[in-house]
Every structure is written in structure tokens, then in C-alpha cells.
Amino acid sequence: MTHWLVDGMNVIGTRPTGWWRDRPRAMRELLEELRALDEPVTVVFDGEPFDIERDERVEVRFATRRGRNAADDDIVALVAEAVEPLCVVTSDAELAGRVREHGAEVLGAGTFRARLDRR
């Protein structure tokens, strides 16, 4: 079973749905889709933490700092610390290269989005 480590805003940004007008709503919608995977998932979001429904199906994290590459740096740290193999979901080429250096597989955000859509 794959443990997914998702660059949340990267996946949200694969669709021009107007998500930028209501980021918390877009994040909640992605969480609902991730919960349906029935596989272990950790999602990392950029931005300020806010009240979001949490459960055991999806681990939700917010970047530990603000600024450029904040969530990316947290994702790399999670991969570097992981005991189990992870598949990082991102289309960010720099992040993909960094996590591959630590042995993670990478799946593009668009490909992952299509997987979610098939569910």
C-alpha cells in the first residue's frame, strides 16, 4: 500500500476552479477527495492553519513557517525522516528532485488529480 505525501496547494492548483478566491474551501474539498482513497495520506498545505475537520484517514499539516518553499521544506523533512517508502505528489520539479534524493517516488499532481477524479 502506498503512503501518499501530497503537496496540497500544488494539487489544488491543477484546476482553474477559482480556488484562489476561497482557499479554505478548496483545501476542505481536497481533503474529502483524499479521504476516499482508502490509503494512508499526509497532505501539507501552505498558509496559516485554520479550523479544519481532521480524522484518522488523512493527516493534515500546515507549513511550519511562512514564505517561499515553506511547505516544500516540510515535505522534504518528512521524506528524510520517513521509515516507510513514500510517494510524493507534486508537479514542482525542484521539490521532486529534492525528495528523490531521499528515496521517495514522485507522481505528478495532474496524474494524481486524474486518479482522484476516477474515484
Give me the pLDDT at residue 78, please: 97
Mean pLDDT of 102-110: 96
Range of 58's domain?
Answer: 3-118
pLDDT by residue (tens digit) across 18-75? 888 999 999 999 999 999 998 999 999 998 888 888 888 899 999 999 888 889 999 9
Percent of the chain residues topping a pLDDT of 70: 99
Residue 39 DSSP class: S
Nearest in space to 116 (alpha carbons), one of 19, 8, 23: 8
Report pTM: 0.93
Count up the domains in the chain and report the number.
1
The CATH number for 70's domain is 3.40.50
Per-chain mean pLDDT for the chain: 93
Q: What CA–CA distance (Å, rounded) separates 40 from 56?
A: 9
| Residue that the C-alpha cell 510517494 belongs to | 87
